[in-house]
Amino acid sequence: PGDIAVAQVEALRQVLPMSGALRALNQVAVKAKVAGEVKEVLVRAGEAVTLGQVLIRMDTSEYQAKVEQAKGSLVASRGQLDIATKSRDNNLALLDKGFISRNAFDNAASQFDIAKANVDTARGALDVAQKALNDTVIKAPMAGLVSTRTIEPGEKVSVDNKLLDVVDLRQMELEAPVPTADILKVKLGQEVQVRVEGLPDAVAGKVVRINPATQSGSRSIMVYVRIDNPDNLLRAGMFADASLTLDKRDAVLTVPTTAIQNEGDKAYVYTIENGKLARHNVVTGLRGVDSKGNAVEISSGLQGGARIVKANLGNLNAGTPVKILPAAKE
């Protein structure tokens, strides 16, 4: 029975095999925006986070002091501006009455401009100090999962030190090298079936990017396949085998590839009819994969339901009696 197959109408796909590693489409390294001591790390690797969730708190004492200092400077500069404003207004009235010279008024106006600029500078310094204080609270830049944590409470960090990695697994990408000899067959939008060890079923994807250059040290070009992953079953770093659909037929008569025999430029298959081998010349079409494995489309010469011999029969010919043995019991 293992050498017998049945010609059936099936969907047939011509495929290009690929393999590579999965990566999260969206991933962010969470870095320190200010230097200082880490007081709290509120998440661990593997935990889910939401957009804007507080992840880390740093020591605020130094930055709070700078905010208070900047507030004091702003209050003082505003006081100086009030004095300069009154002086300018008084000198303008005296100038209009001819009691002071233009130079005296210009000096008062200049002091007003300086005081106003000092207020603007103090306000800017307060904004900078307030932002630095706000940056001691580090929040999630997106929703996702914490994939790595590289910091612990009590450690000191500098600006741009990486603290955490957050990944969004809802969309994944397969990065797969394709030989240059096959790359012209690959087109944007082509369907891809992706299989990962441990998952019972293949998941669907499609080609979204093709690298314009070959990989260094190899004659291959990287192809990127987008995969929806709403249940987070796929994880970054998983190795995947994939088959890219180059062509497909939705409902055609197929037989296993091993059933096709050739004589010159003619193709034929052996069937079992009335207990004997029968030869059928066939016209083949697309070669690819059906639900059972490697298969060939039969355009003509065979009917659906025919019992096909998959194995090479050697010197046996049409008309030879055949007995099908029952499957061996385990």
pLDDT in tens, 166-184: 999 999 999 999 999 889 9
In a shared domain, residues 230 and 260: no
218 against 84, higher pLDDT: 84
Same domain, 268 and 278: yes
Residue 195: which residues within 8 A CB-CB, separation 6 or more? 202, 203, 240, 241, 242
Domain containing 292: what range? 4-11+250-309
CB environment 229-240: b (16+ within 10 A), e (fewer):
beeeebebebeb
Say if residue 238 is in the same domain as residue 255: no
CATH number at residue 283: 2.40.420.20
Position 218 scores a pLDDT of 82
Counting the structural domains of the chain, the total is 3
Same domain flag for 256 and 233: no
The reply to whether 112 falls in a domain is yes
Q: Which of 135, 157, 183 is the last residue of a domain?
A: 135
Residue with tokens 């040290």: 217
pLDDT at position 217:
79
Q: Please state which of the ranges 95-99, 144-148, 208-212, 283-287 shows the lowest mean pLDDT.
A: 95-99
48 within 8 A of 232, measured Cβ to Cβ: no
Work out the average pLDDT over 231-248. Answer: 91
Domain membership flag for residue 215: yes
Same domain for 125 and 66: yes
Amino acid at 233: L
Mean pLDDT of 51-67: 97
Cα 30 to the chain's mean position, in Å? 17
User: What is the structure's pLDDT at 327?
Assistant: 58
Chain centroid offset of residue 233 CA: 14
Residue 224 domain-assigned? yes
Question: Which range has the top average pLDDT, 147-161, 252-266, 274-288?
Answer: 147-161
Interval 70-81 mean pLDDT: 96
Question: Strands, E, within the chain: which ranges?
Answer: 4-6, 8-31, 36-41, 48-49, 54-58, 137-139, 144-149, 156-157, 162-179, 191-196, 203-214, 220-228, 239-256, 261-263, 266-273, 276-290, 293-300, 307-309
Q: 14 near 247, Cβ under 8 Å?
A: yes
Say if residue 200 is in the same domain as residue 229. yes
User: Count of residues for the chain?
Assistant: 330
What predicted TM-score, i.e. pTM, was given to this entire model?
A: 0.69
Q: What is the mean pLDDT of the chain?
A: 92
Maximum distance among all Cα pairs of the chain, rounded to whole angstroms: 134
Looking at the domain assignment, is residue 53 inside a domain?
A: no
Asked if the model's pLDDT at residue 147 lies above 90, the reply is yes
Last residue of a domain, one of 88, 113, 135: 135
The pLDDT of residue 247: 87
The answer to whether position 161 is within a domain reads: no
Residue 82 inside a domain? The answer is: yes
Residue 12 CA to residue 252 CA, distance in Å, equals: 7
Average pLDDT of span 269-292 = 90
Please tell me the predicted confidence (pLDDT) of residue 328: 53
In the prediction, which pLDDT does 79 show?
96
> Mean per-residue pLDDT for 66-84?
96
- What's the burial of 242, exposed, middle or buried (CB within 10 Å: 0-12/13-18/19+)? buried
